[in-house]
Amino acid sequence: MIFFSTLALIAVLIIIFFTPLFNIKNVNINIKRADISAGGTENLHISADTVRETLGKIEGRNLFSYSKKSAKKKLSQLAYVEEVTVKKKVFPPTVNIEIIECTPAFFAAYEDGYVLMDKTGKVLEKLKEIPENGNVPEAKGIAIAAANLGEQAEFKDVESQKNILYCIENMQKAGILGDITVMSFEDMTNITFNYQERLDVICGTHIDFQRKLALFKEAINSAKLTKNSRGTINLSTTGKAIYTP
């Protein structure tokens, strides 16, 4: 009985690993933006061709011996990849790859050009000139010590880095980052940003930044301000958003 069971097992393994029955026939690649509100579901930076070039030919390989872990590791090395999911389907033998792409959040001066980063400070691109995409604001007052593609940039001031990224993340959560043209962290006691090239916003420090942004949104959506209102909004006074034309 054991002998025949062993033969049966060997036969199954041969069918699984050494016959074309379970060779991969389909590879489905789905790429989408991490922040739907910032760019819809269209892929702006990673293409299916890039994924295929990174992984090499998948079709025709054995489904069970194909390593999901290895595929995820290779794709995670692409700068714009935020998250990778690799799944297998037995019938028909298929590999499904889903990539969530990083959303560019801001850019800052570095060496003789600029670096484009996401909300975590991950370096997405190194640029010689200011990005053409007007929905990505410039962050001034950031001193960058090192910037490697696909890795978090190293700021010269670690404490400032933590606070700056905290502010930028909250701007993104508030849904206003795409309308900011420039933000200044040159003085961390007086953080400022310009909104839609018409409103200069004074935030004070990073403390209670989320609450300050909530006050800002209340102000711009109030009956006192129109879409054409220009001036200054001061959020540095506790619990108030003071508008000055």
If you count DSSP H runs as helices and E runs as strands, how many of each does the chain have, helices first?
Answer: 6, 14
Coil vs helix vs strand at 160: helix
Can you tell me the distance from the alpha carbon of 120 to that of 123, in angstroms, rounded to the nearest whole number? 9
> What DSSP character marks residue 136?
S
Whether residue 65 sits in one domain with residue 148: no
CATH code of the domain in which 71 resides = 3.10.20.310
DSSP character string of 26-85:
EEEEEEEES-HHHHTT--SS--HHHHHHHH---TTSBTTTS-HHHHHHHHHTSTTEEEEE
**pLDDT by residue (tens digit) across 71-122?**
999 999 999 999 999 999 998 999 999 999 999 999 999 999 999 999 999 9
The Cα–Cα gap between 21 and 170 comes to: 51
Predicted local confidence at residue 20, as pLDDT: 73
How many structural domains compose the chain?
Answer: 2
Domain span at residue 226 reads: 106-244
Residues 63 and 142 in one domain: no
Q: Give pLDDT, residue 105.
A: 94
Same domain, residue pair 114 and 95: no
pTM score, whole prediction: 0.86
CATH of the domain at 172: 3.40.50.10960
* Shared-domain flag, residues 6 and 111: no
Q: Please identify, among 101, 131, 159, the residue that sits at the C-terminal boundary of a domain.
A: 101
Q: Can you tell me whether residue 107 is helix, strand or coil?
A: strand
CA 147/CA 112 separation, integer angstroms? 13
Name the domain boundary from 101, 132, 162.
101
Give the per-residue pLDDT at 33.
80
Q: Which of 69, 101, 133 is the last residue of a domain?
A: 101
pLDDT at 223: 86
Q: What is the pLDDT of residue 40?
A: 44
Let me know whether 33 and 138 are in one domain: no
137 and 182 co-located in one domain: yes
210, two tokens: 């989320």
Same domain, 132 and 202: yes
Q: What per-residue confidence (pLDDT) applies to 4? A: 45
Which residues in the chain show pLDDT less than 50? Answer: 4, 7, 9, 11-13, 37-41
pLDDT for position 243: 95
